[in-house]
Amino acid sequence: MLELKNIVKIYQGGTVNETCLFDGFSLSIPENQFVCVVGSNGSGKTSLLNIICGSVPIDEGQILVGGENITRMPEHRRHERIGRVYQDPARGTCPSMTILENMSMADNKGKPFNLLPCVNRKKTEEYRAMLAQLGLGLEDKMGVRVGNLSGGQRQAMALLMSTMTPIEFLILDEHTAALDPKTAEIIMQLTGRIVAQKKLTTIMVTHNLRYAVEYGDRVLMMHQGKTVFDRAGEEKRGVTTETLLGLFNEISVECGN
Amino acid sequence: MSLLLSVLEQGLIYAILALGVYITFKILDFPDMTVDSSFPLGAAVTALMIQGGLSPLLTLPASLLAGAVAGALTGVIHVRFHVRDLLAGIIVMTGLYSVNLHVAGRANVQLFSFDTLFKNAFVSALPAAVQPYAPVLILALIVLAVKLLMDAYLATRSGFLLRATGDNETLVATLAKDAGRVKILGLSLANALVALSGCIMCQYQRYFDISMGTGTLVLAVASVIVGTQLLRGMRFLRATTAVVLGSILYKGCVALALSLGLSPFDLKLVTAALLLIIIIAGGHSRRRGKRHA
């Protein structure tokens, strides 16, 4: 169970440009739920993820995981149970290291980074099998530097790497937005498979309304730091892209766009 | 022949320095000015110990340790107190100048009458024919050991994390590791090697001079770039090997320029110009940090 309680987040506080994004925002996500978050730019989707992961500090409120208060826990400590994939494929991998080296490093998450060798040759076959299921031909490029791969290939690797070790939460920040439609589809299917297999509590921010409808068991729409639409379980199944699109238009009209 | 030997000897001593700077400059992408003072710090510690009659061998771990502390200090100032990388190095470099004077006791210390790594009972016992080559052999052994240890380290889990920190700090955070701590460790390792190089240089020239660190970073960066850029075509070479060769090559160029009649007055000017040309030709003029973003 992940709980956000009365979160207050002010950007550029104390200046004339002070903007209050969240003012008493609360959200709770039960275990194993796959939540899709949609909303226009600036609605607070990415800020929400950054607050959960500890990438940005909050001004007031509490963040609880399974009842434990993690509000003051630094970002890297929170990642002990969080896997995260970013919109920019370059952020999830090391460009100057090879595929095998990247996979080996990700596999070591949660264990000490000590003076033992990082690459374990015995595991190469295991990694190869994991890469083969992507269908991108990466299994034959174990010695290639990741910087030489395409965005889609890197993003597929980032997704694999972030979910290799036991984690509880998967945070996806528009992770298909920088990809071509076909690659995005492959990455989305892989995401669905991994989440189901590993039973991860997942929060996915997306601009693709179809993905928000097809995947997950809860959909949230955010607007100006508030949840304006929230459907889960049975109710979520009735939600269509038209519902979401209609809601988007309604909001835009209200805002005078 | 003696010119060739002295090029090799000095090139090898500076190779250790260049290997250290390779960690900060190339792997961590950190312009570390601490180097200009951690190099003489190693020398000052050495001068103090040798004058005190301690074994020259003991100066090696002592200077490594002193350099590691200096590097860690820069790291802590940068990481924990959010002082910009260049400035953090300059602050420690400036402060260390006084520390070096205190450690050595004077601005100049001569060690001509003491035993060193290169002048001791063991070396005197060698056959006369080998003696002229003793320094170069000893140095080659030390450099080889440092290079192999560094290669081994860079293949460990800790070494992987170091490489990842220079490459992509976001990934380090998602691996649940503190990139700041890795940076402090990297700076510590780098300056340990720099101080070791200073220690050996002090024993080689048999004197300590407070100003011996001036321009160390530029010299080291030049060696690193010569190594990694000029030898880029030779794929079979490891980066660490390329850096060692780069250092020797660079020393060779300087020696050649001097023997062709270049005035020692112009040495720094030529060094700076040469480095600039290499950097522009090698496309290093922009910081590479955001290259892959």
Q: What pLDDT sits at residue A108? A: 95
- Let me know if B185 is exposed, middle or buried by CB neighbors in 10 A (0-12, 13-18, 19+): buried
- Let me know if A203 is exposed, middle or buried by CB neighbors in 10 A (0-12, 13-18, 19+): buried
A89-96 mean pLDDT: 94
Contact between residue A224 and residue A43 where contact means Cβ atoms under 8 Å apart: yes
- Range with the poorest average pLDDT among A213-227, B39-53, B228-242: B228-242
A59-63 mean pLDDT: 94
Residue B292 has pLDDT above 50, yes or no: no
CB distance from A154 to chain B under 8 Å? no
Contact residues on chain A for B176, CB-CB shorter than 8 A: 76-77, 79-80, 109-110
pLDDT in tens, A159-202: 999 999 999 999 999 999 988 999 899 999 999 999 999 999 99
Residue B284 has pLDDT above 80, yes or no: no
CB distance from B179 to chain A under 8 Å? yes
A188-197 core/surface letters (b: 16 or more CB in 10 A; e: else): bebbbebbee
- Range with the poorest average pLDDT among A10-19, A26-35, B84-93: A10-19
Residue A8 has pLDDT above 50, yes or no: yes
pLDDT in tens, A229-238: 999 988 888 8
Which residue in B293, B285, B114 sits closest to B207, CA to CA?
A: B114
Could you tell me the pLDDT band of residue B293, with boundaries at 50, 70 and 90?
A: very low
pLDDT in tens, A147-167: 999 999 999 999 999 999 999
B79-103 mean pLDDT: 97
The angle formed by the CA atoms of residues A211, A31 and A156, to the nearest 5 degrees, is 40
Spatial neighbors of A190 by CB under 8 A, at least 6 apart, are A133, A134, A156, A159
Cα–Cα distance, A170 to B208 (Å, whole number): 57
Cα–Cα distance, A62 to B263 (Å, whole number): 69
Residue of A46, A52, A70, A76 to mutate when probing chain B, most B C-beta within 10 A: A76
A33-41 mean pLDDT: 93
Cα–Cα distance, A140 to A149 (Å, whole number): 13
> Which residue in A91, A94, A114 is closest to B163 by CB distance?
A94
Please tell me which residue of chain A has the smallest CA distance to B179.
A76
Q: What pLDDT sits at residue B264? A: 83
Contact residues on chain A for B293, CB-CB shorter than 8 A: 88, 90-91
- Let me know if A62 is exposed, middle or buried by CB neighbors in 10 A (0-12, 13-18, 19+): middle
Contact residues on chain B for A159, CB-CB shorter than 8 A: none
pLDDT in tens, B266-275: 888 888 887 8
Q: What pLDDT sits at residue A84? A: 96
Cα–Cα distance, B222 to A189 (Å, whole number): 49
Residues 49-88, chain A, touching B (beta carbon < 8 A): 74-77, 79-80, 82-84, 86, 88
Residue B290 has pLDDT above 60, yes or no: no
Residue carrying the six token digits 């104390």: A14
CA distance A113 to chain B (A): 5
Q: What pLDDT sits at residue B70? A: 98
Could you tell me the pLDDT band of residue A112, with boundaries at 50, 70 and 90?
A: very high
Residue carrying the six token digits 């790594």: B117
The amino acid occupying position B64 is L
CATH number of A2-254: 3.40.50.300
Q: How far apart are the first and last CA of chain B?
A: 50
Residue B286 has pLDDT above 80, yes or no: no
Residues 215-244, chain B, touching A (beta carbon < 8 A): none
Question: What is the DSSP pairing of strand A68-69 with strand B108-110?
Answer: unpaired
In the three-class reduction of DSSP (H, G, I as helix; E, B as strand; rest coil), residue A217 is classed as coil
Beta bridge partners of A36: A204, A219
pLDDT in tens, B189-247: 999 999 999 999 999 999 999 999 998 999 999 999 989 887 777 777 889 999 999 99
Which residue in B44, B56, B83 sits closest to B187, CA to CA?
A: B83
Query: Across the interface, do A118 and B155 touch by the CB < 8 Å criterion?
Result: yes
Q: What is the DSSP string of A146-184?
A: GGGS-HHHHHHHHHHHHHSS--SEEEEESTTTTS-HHHH
Contact between residue A145 and residue A96 where contact means Cβ atoms under 8 Å apart: yes
Residue of B168, B174, B235 to mutate when probing chain A, most A C-beta within 10 A: B174
